Amino acid sequence: MTFNVSWPVLNRLAFGLAVLLRWAHELAMPALTRDMQTQTESAVNLLRGHGVSLARANWQDLAAPGFEPLNLWPPGYAWLMAGLLRGVSPEFLVSMQVLHWAGLLGLLTAWWYLLKPLHRALVPYAPAVFFLFWGLSNAPFHLLFGTDLLALAFYSGGLAGLFRLLTQPPAARRTVFGAALLMSGLGFAACLLRFAYYPLAFFLPLALLAFGGRWRPRLVRPALAALLLLAGLVAGLLVYQARVAGDAYYITKFYTQLATEPASAATLGLYWHHLLQLDPVFYHSFFSNELDFSRVPSGVGLRIGAVILVSAVVIMVLGDGLRREWRAAHRRGRFWPTRRVLFHLLAGSTALICAGLLTAVSLRYPAALVGWFAGGRWTYVADTRYFLPAFLSVSAMLLVLVLSRPARLRPAVRAAGLGLLAASLLLSVATRDRRTVQSLRQPPAFFMDQAPGHAADVRRLDQFLRTISPGEPLILGRNSYNKRVEIAARLAGHIVLDADSLLAHLPLRTSKPVLMLFDLNPATPPTPAVAEFLRQHQAHPRLRLPGLRANILSLEILP
């Protein structure tokens, strides 16, 4: 009895499994980073009628807090999160999970359609290999969350539309125009989420225009229409940033975090030494930082050796394959871009534009002095997650070369590529995938949560801070730092202040009575000044959270 394999069915099953695997990673270890926290905070204020903004204390009148427009990011994530908080669930973790799951589904769906024109140029089981690798591997999806995930999903959708336009003859002018406009619309959606996608978004219609002008003239007019649409949309976004947000970080300002390092002090120059911090892109396209070299003797040297070895293998596979693809694209002495050549041009250009932008801004601006980056000095080319479009492009190019039909690689080179993919997969299964299975047995907790396993206290805290003063921000003071309480307060749109700030502005000014909460850590006795402040304003207990080591008091500030 023979068993006939239905590759189209198995490929679709592999795609569905990859989606479920990526969703499982998100469910097991939901990431709530500072970036996502801040943008969600601005979404809460948007729902309260204050625009995409962050609440700030007004020391001249606590009853009239100020609202500072969000300028570190475009408004896209805040708009999406506000819609989910209102239409899906007021639970922040649920809304973030829905948003991330939709982004993951969108990203993998975009790549399904991006690979579809290559189905005759690849082995029949190629989609299954692609999506099972991406579903199980921790690389190239480094820190895949928030705006990085959603922006890449939209851009990949636009890239899939571009590839379809380049590989299929236009059947009807109206259909081609619609596809070209949709392509630019998806590129602009990525710009709404991250400033870094501006050059990538313009690459889509410009590539269509260049191809049409050289090989298919009927694509020129749709390309021009798509370019004009994108230019108009981006211009509108820039006007929004200038008029509403005040400026656009990473475009009109240099990123700075320390109060002692004002943005005006970031003088332009040519900082060539920043390139020494360049992230190992070829290595991180297949291996994340799951393997902790610091735990073994001579770990630094081993890591450098691994980076050099993996990078050499990737360069060898790409170099051999692309050279052979280029030769195969010449017909009768004239060059005609085959589908595989077009794919490599689009993916390679995406990687180069991404890396080029990060290199350009790193060369022009001094390193930021920050406490959260290794060494304390941060620049764009040193941040791994910024290279996400490059990682995905490089891994896809290598997979296409390895799975090509007819083969474009020498047997030894193809074996090296397959070995690299197998090693990447095995490491991911032994690290991230193993932890995912273990974490799925426990209730989900925030990735940044310092007190996991206290689900009841977390739910009580979130519910209390959302309902204590609905529709307006309140001030939450504290006598010690509690990350979980701060996250809950900021996600509810409230203002968090340290006791030092409150005491420094005594007597507090307000035009009408103001409710204030105070997080008193039972493990940190209040100073005499804090105790006197609480006594003077007749503070009384409202919520006791022993698991989170927090006692929430309430008090009233009178005019």
DSSP 308-362: HHHHHHHHHHHHHHHHHHHHHTEETTEE---HHHHHHHHHHHHHHHHHHHHHHHH
pLDDT of residue 367 exceeding 90, the answer is no
The confidence score (pLDDT) of residue 72 equals 82
Q: Residues with Cβ < 8 Å from 509, sequence gap 6 or more? A: 59, 60, 61, 62
Q: State how far the Cα of 516 lies from the Cα of 294, in Å rounded to an integer.
A: 46
Tokens encoding 342: 């077009």
Q: State how far the Cα of 237 lies from the Cα of 68, in Å rounded to an integer.
A: 18
pLDDT class of 170 with cuts at 50, 70, 90: low
Whole-number Cα distances in Å, 255 to 116, 143, 447, 507: 40, 20, 25, 35
pLDDT class of 333 with cuts at 50, 70, 90: low
pLDDT of residue 30 exceeding 60, the answer is yes
Q: What is the pLDDT of residues 66-78, one digit of tens each?
A: 999 988 889 999 9
Q: Residue 72: exposed, middle, or buried by beta-carbon count in 10 A (0-12, 13-18, 19+)?
A: middle
The confidence score (pLDDT) of residue 34 equals 80
β-bridge partners, 53: 69
CB environment 375-392: b (16+ within 10 A), e (fewer)? eeebbbbbbbbbbbbbbb
Distance from the Cα of residue 411 to its chain's centroid: 37
Amino acid identity, position 385:
R
Q: What is the pLDDT of residues 197-248, one digit of tens each?
A: 999 999 999 999 999 988 888 899 999 999 999 999 999 998 888 888 776 6
Asked if residues 391 and 397 have their Cβ atoms less than 8 Å apart, the reply is no
Q: CA angle 532-559-462, nearest 5°? A: 70
The confidence score (pLDDT) of residue 148 equals 87
The confidence score (pLDDT) of residue 209 equals 96
CA-wise closest residue to 47 among 493, 527, 494: 493
Q: State how far the Cα of 249 lies from the Cα of 70, in Å rounded to an integer.
A: 10
What is the number of H-type helices and E-type strands within the chain? 19, 11
pLDDT of residue 128 exceeding 50, the answer is yes
Residue % of the chain over a pLDDT of 70: 90
The confidence score (pLDDT) of residue 2 equals 47
Asked if residues 424 and 287 have their Cβ atoms less than 8 Å apart, the reply is yes
pLDDT class of 294 with cuts at 50, 70, 90: low
Other C-beta atoms lying within 10 Å of the C-beta of residue 442: 11
Angle of helix 146-167 versus helix 92-115 axis, rounded to 10: 20
Phi first, then psi: what are they for 424, rounded to 5°? -60, -45
Q: What is the mean pLDDT of the chain?
A: 87
Tokens encoding 539: 């503070």
CA-wise closest residue to 496 among 40, 55, 71: 55
pLDDT of residue 174 exceeding 70, the answer is no
Q: Beta strands 475-478 and 495-498: pairing type?
A: parallel
Q: Which residue has the tokens 């409710």?
A: 515
> Which has the minimum average pLDDT: 100-104, 162-166, 442-446, 468-472?
442-446
pTM of the model: 0.92
